[in-house]
Structure 1
Amino acid sequence: KYAANFFLALKLSFANNLATLCERLGADIDDVVAGIGHDPRIGGAFLRPGPGWGGSCLPKDTHALLRVCEESGVEFPLLRATIETNVAHQRLLVERVAAGCAGADGSLRGVRIALLGLTFKAGTSDLRDSPALAVARLLREQGAELTAYDPALSELRPDLGDLLTLTGTAPDAAEGARACVVLTEWPQFRGLDWEAVAGRLAAPLVYDFRNILDPARLDRAGLTWEGIGRPLAMAR
């Protein structure tokens, strides 16, 4: 079980690092993943980029395997790199948001950011080791004020009250925000009234860190879309 979950985490860290390279080169991560996925030795599962990996199993089991290695006196650099890459990737995403949303002083202090999705994946209300919350904490460390909407959540755990404010709709979360950041791949987000969201945002920025939205649809709503591992030209 440890080995299986480590390998899945490895594939996700690989995809996220590859997505960053695609952005630098003007390539499309979807094309690259589709290409390598045709190789039956690789397949396309667990190669979609996102805001990092998390959940109830992958973080727990990768760290448990790391402890087994340490206790056994076995060096496993690839395992450490998989974990470190996940954290570094999340910091890189936060840097992207900060670059586009910083206030007059060049920081995120007092800047409101709207988050769409808090659970670690769609179809669950589970927040355990959610990458969305990891990104939220990094944004909060930089002083951002966070509002959020998640279709599966009607209230927050008490320990998250100081982190963000939960709202009942996506437009409510967008009220006065400098950007909207998609962190969970809920299919409901594709069908949102994006004109209503745009009307509540203080700036027309949407960071789609799950690559689930249609850039053309957001463009019609007057919004600027940025995906992950996708050419910026798609947003224009």
Structure 2
Amino acid sequence: MSMEQKREYEQIGVAMTSRSYVEYEKMFMLQRADLFGKRVLDVAGGASSFTSEARQFGIYAEAVDPLYAKSPSAISDHGMQEIELVAAKMAKLTDVYDWTFYGNVENHKAGRIQALQRFIEDFSSAEGSIRYHTAALPSLPFESESFDLVMCSHFLFLYEEQFDYAFHVGAVRELLRVCKPGGEVRIYPLMSFRTVEYSRLPDLINEFALAGFTVKKREASLPFLPNSHQFLSIKK
């Protein structure tokens, strides 16, 4: 294995994420005022606290992930194991990342724990079953044209080596199916774990542009992972 390869973040399987509302704001360039009165979906949201925090702000947010088949305690245990594992990996690669937002590994870890705890509290609540749905791409349990904004963070494109192009196209089609006309799908980041842009992104952009959608790369504002400065916007 070369030295360059050793500097890559190693990921086996699909990681469980625990990100905060503020991180979503930066990843997807969200403006809170623009979300009021809109129905928002976080796809492959894991144990992120976006849905919980958005609801507290008065935004009608929901999330979907196969993880939600597990019990709150099982998700909490799995989440804490994942957070410890990620922190250990990052501690060996601190110079690879831009720490402008997080500060350091310990702050990053503390934020993940806080988001996980907020998620578990909301997931366990009486209304948890209403806003957290158990399903996995490329098949979502919603009627067509249900959501104004559909987001997917740290799943599509990132796992280029585990999911082929056909899966990515099918997944994006499904995100667009549940999106309302005039609505938007946003996907972040645009790169794989090798920190280079998803190799089939030009093909995917061209395919959906030819299908009549407005597809653009847009600038994000969460400088952390190398080459993670953009998200994909697909307007329906």
Q: What range is the shorter-chain TM-score in?
A: under 0.3
Q: Which TM-score applies when normalising by structure 1?
A: 0.27
Larger Rg, first or second structure (1 or 2): 1
Larger helix percent:
1
Q: Which TM-score applies when normalising by structure 2?
A: 0.27
